[in-house]
Amino acid sequence: MNGFWAILTKEFSHIRRDRTTIFFMFMVPIIQLLIFGFAIDVTIDNIPLVVLDLDGREEGRKLVEAMENTQTFQVVRRTFDQESFQRAIRSGQAKAGILIPAEYSERLLRGEQAQVQVLIDGSDSQVATTALNTVTLLVSNLSVGRARLLGESRHFAPARNEAGAPALPIDVRPRLLYNPDLQSSHFFVPGLIAIILQMVLLFLTSFSIVRERELGTLEQLFVTPVGRGGLLFGKLIPYALMAFGELLIVLVAMVGLFGVAISGSLILLLSLSSLFILTVLGLGLLISTLAATQLEAVQYSFLVMLPSVFLSGFMFPRSEMPTIIWAAGYLLPVTYFVEIVRGVILRGADAVDVSSSILGLTLCCVVILFLSLARFRKQLD
């Protein structure tokens, strides 16, 4: 620990004088918070719809109305011939189209099966899936409604409820827990804590060491009796403290700005965050032992950051991933931490609930610290 205070004091002087570091530490997280918290909304609605209604009577109009009422669709155009109907979809003006055939109302009234054609632009899979699900659900609901009416008129009911009224055989009662309004910010902001902490810490710690290597000041330090521990802790602790301060800022913003309450224990959240901070410090140190220049450090950091954003479950649900990719996500410490923050903040999970994630994060921490400390020597080779 020889030289710890000297290095610590010096590091704070660097931070104080280096405006870009301060900017990076505090502005970038705020920008990210605003983008992910406000701008990104993954619920899909108002899909542009083109209508070709060859029927033109009440039943056909009711179908289009029902589609608009879901709010998933919005009629942008009504056409009267096949050619312009197709063109509206091809040109991208509409993402979905509904074609109601001429005999639609008659067939329904006659009790015959009526066909409705729905075309969906499959290029954006998320929009297409939503459109498909909505249409399928809507039409089957309408069909069931008609079937029930028909059954009632003939004094036949598929099932009856407690009051004895005709009802469907299975009654589903879904209830949304933890985020009843399905707000994207509730999902993104807690996960963002993990991403922000990792990004800022990874860049700053690896830079602070690699910069000294590039400038030759590290070589100068190596020929002094400064201890390995003093050098490492002196350099890393200032960034750990700043990261912790940043964590508090993001938490305050989360609660105050986005109204996401911390349902679980704050102590648990802060202590597991500290474990994560320690892990990322180790990762930054590991990068600094691999990179000879700051540019290389940026590249290595991106090598960690990109999978962290996409594979950790921060943006896309991990359950949707192919098995290999899903398993690869477990190599990233941030995967465990995203799981932990969402658990503790949104679901009020306690240590037992997230114990497997805690175990995974601890394991990552031990391995990374071991590797980086073994690689960091007071030597030039």
Partner 1 sequence: MNDIVIRTNRLTRYFGKVRALVDVTLDVPRAGIFGLLGPNGAGKSTLIRMLCGVLSPTSGCGSVLGFDIRTDAESIKRRIGYMSQRFSLYSDLSTIENIRFYSMIYGIPARKRREREDAVISLTGITPYLDRLGGNLSGGWKQRLALACALIHEPEVIFLDEPTAGIDPVARRDLWDLLFSLAHQGVTMFVTTHYMDEAERCSKVGYLQAGTLIALGTPEELKASKQVTPDDARRYEVSCKNLPAALARARSMPMVRDATLFGTVLHVLIDASCDPTTLVQTLTGGEEGAAFRPVAPSLEDVFVILSRAEEIRRVS
Contacting residues toward partner 1, per CB under 8 A: 2-3, 5-7, 9-10, 13-14, 17-18, 215-217, 219-226, 378-381
Terminal alpha carbon distance of the chain = 22
DSSP-derived secondary structure for 242-303: HHHHHHHHHHHHHHHHH-----S-HHHHHHHHHHHHHHHHHHHHHHHHH-SSHHHHHHHHHH
In the structure encoding, which two tokens stand for residue 327, read together?
């398993």
Q: Among residues 123 and 379, whose Cβ is nearest to partner 1?
A: 379
In the structure encoding, which two tokens stand for residue 295, read together?
């540019």
Neighbouring CB atoms inside 10 A of 148's CB total: 16
Q: Among residues 139 and 221, whose Cβ is nearest to partner 1?
A: 221
Residue type, 165: A
Could you tell me the smallest distance in angstroms from the CB atom of residue 223 to partner 1? 4
Residue type, 207: F
Q: Among residues 319 and 379, whose Cβ is nearest to partner 1?
A: 379
Q: Among residues 160 and 377, whose Cβ is nearest to partner 1?
A: 377
Give the 3-state secondary structure of residue 97: strand
Could you tell me the smallest distance in angstroms from the CB atom of residue 28 to partner 1? 21
Could you tell me the smallest distance in angstroms from the CB atom of residue 224 to partner 1? 5
Burial of residue 170 (CB within 10 Å: 0-12, 13-18, 19+) is exposed
Neighbouring CB atoms inside 10 A of 135's CB total: 20
Could you tell me the smallest distance in angstroms from the CB atom of residue 204 to partner 1? 16
Could you tell me the smallest distance in angstroms from the CB atom of residue 301 to partner 1? 23
Could you tell me the smallest distance in angstroms from the CB atom of residue 378 to partner 1? 7
Q: Among residues 215 and 295, whose Cβ is nearest to partner 1?
A: 215
Nearest to 202 by CA among 332, 380, 351, 77: 332
- Cα separation, 191 vs 194, in Å, equals 5
Q: Among residues 94 and 242, whose Cβ is nearest to partner 1?
A: 242
Could you tell me the smallest distance in angstroms from the CB atom of residue 288 to partner 1? 17
Could you tell me the smallest distance in angstroms from the CB atom of residue 210 to partner 1? 15
Q: Among residues 19 and 154, whose Cβ is nearest to partner 1?
A: 19
Give the 3-state secondary structure of residue 175: coil
Helix or strand (DSSP H, E) at 166? strand 166-167
Could you tell me the smallest distance in angstroms from the CB atom of residue 221 to partner 1? 7
Neighbouring CB atoms inside 10 A of 303's CB total: 11
Q: Among residues 117 and 220, whose Cβ is nearest to partner 1?
A: 220
- Cα separation, 96 vs 85, in Å, equals 10
- Cα separation, 265 vs 274, in Å, equals 14
Neighbouring CB atoms inside 10 A of 328's CB total: 14
Q: Among residues 195 and 226, whose Cβ is nearest to partner 1?
A: 226
